[in-house]
Structure 1
Amino acid sequence: MGFMQKFVDKATLVDEEYDDEYLDDVYEDEEEVAEEPEVTPIRSVAPMPDLSRIVTVRPRSFNDIQAFADEFRKGLPVILNLAETNEDDRRRIVDFATGVCYGLRGLLNPISDDVLLMTPHTVKVESRRSEPTRTF
């Protein structure tokens, strides 16, 4: 018998004296244990935020980002007023706000050159103006 034949014989699980009764006992025990899983009703993971409140934040530098990120994570709309922010920090803040909105499935809506509105996915913003929308 060659090397390959020995390998094939050991690798296969064919046994001449295989007992089917053993498997029948195993499967019977599993059928007794298997029960219908309990189904729990779907419920909200977190309470809905108070949408009658909108947070306004005036960050002066990139170090102030936690102030609006935490409020937005709670599900509240956030108005970012960047009028007092220098140009470099403004770019970083807008990039960060865009990432936060994307990560939480919200939107970043420009209101003016200095003001942005971050809306969570639970809030819809309707625009009635005919001007084309800007992108950052």
Structure 2
Amino acid sequence: MSIKNKIKTFFTMDDEYEYIEEEQEIEQHDASGGQKRRSENVVSLTSMQQPTSKVVLCEPRNYDEAQEIADNVVNRRAVVINLQRVDHNQAKRIVDFLSGTVYAVKGDIQKLGSQTFLCTPDNVDVSGSITESYVEEDEFEKGW
């Protein structure tokens, strides 16, 4: 065997190991009748995987789209809402509606920017905070 083949087999280790899934049998005796019982300790790896979390970005144009945003929160997805394209009164209504939705699912709503909010259900943990270091004060800020 050449040096090249030895190095190749050292790093790749193809066909050296065979993985066989085995079932373990454990015999247990009942206290009453002494009967034997089999139990299997095999766990499927696919059942151990957690579903992926999703973050939805929304940019509503009117209050009618608030229900769609709320449905995402109810379905346990985090939602980032940009309210720059909505007039001030409708933006307040959207935030009020989403605040109620987030409260109902025991989630959280956080302000990320002057017109940006993050709505999270209870299965999403948010760490850290965003400071309000921006100096600009627009009409949207005055209402909050």
- Shared topology, TM-score over 0.5? yes
**Matched position secondary structure for 2:70:** helix
Structure (1 or 2) with the greater helix fraction: 1
Q: Indicate conservation of the 8 Å contact 2:60/2:83, yes or no.
A: yes
* Count of aligned pairs between the two proteins: 86
Q: Indicate conservation of the 8 Å contact 1:78/1:117, yes or no.
A: yes
1:66-123 CA distance string (max 9 Å, x none):
2211111110000111010001100100100110010110000110011100011111
Normalized against structure 1, the TM-score is what? Answer: 0.57
Tell me: CA distance 1:109–1:89, structure 2 relative to 1, closer, same or farther (3 Å). same
Q: Indicate conservation of the 8 Å contact 1:80/1:116, yes or no.
A: yes
Tell me: CA distance 1:86–1:105, structure 2 relative to 1, closer, same or farther (3 Å). same
Identity among equivalent pairs (%)? 28
Tell me: CA distance 1:65–1:122, structure 2 relative to 1, closer, same or farther (3 Å). same
Pair 1:80-2:81 in alignment: yes
Number of the residue aligned with 2:60: 59
Tell me: CA distance 1:59–1:129, structure 2 relative to 1, closer, same or farther (3 Å). closer
Could you tell me which runs of 5 or more consecutive residues in structure 2 were left unpaired when the two chains were aligned.
1-49, 134-143
Normalized against structure 2, the TM-score is what? Answer: 0.54
* Structure-2 separation of matches of 1:49 and 1:69: 21
Q: Indicate conservation of the 8 Å contact 2:60/2:85, yes or no.
A: yes
Q: Indicate conservation of the 8 Å contact 1:108/1:117, yes or no.
A: yes
The structure with the larger Rg is: 1
Query: Which of 49, 52, 55 matches 1:50?
Result: 52
Pair 1:91-2:92 in alignment: yes
* Structure-1 separation of matches of 2:97 and 2:51: 22
* Structure-1 separation of matches of 2:79 and 2:118: 6
**Partner amino acid, structure 1, of 2:120:** T
**Matched position secondary structure for 2:81:** strand
Dislocated runs of 4+, deviation >3 Å: 128-132
Number of the residue aligned with 2:105: 104
Q: Indicate conservation of the 8 Å contact 1:54/1:79, yes or no.
A: yes
Pair 1:124-2:129 in alignment: no
Q: Indicate conservation of the 8 Å contact 1:50/1:76, yes or no.
A: no
Structure (1 or 2) with the greater strand fraction: 2
* Structure-2 separation of matches of 1:94 and 1:113: 13
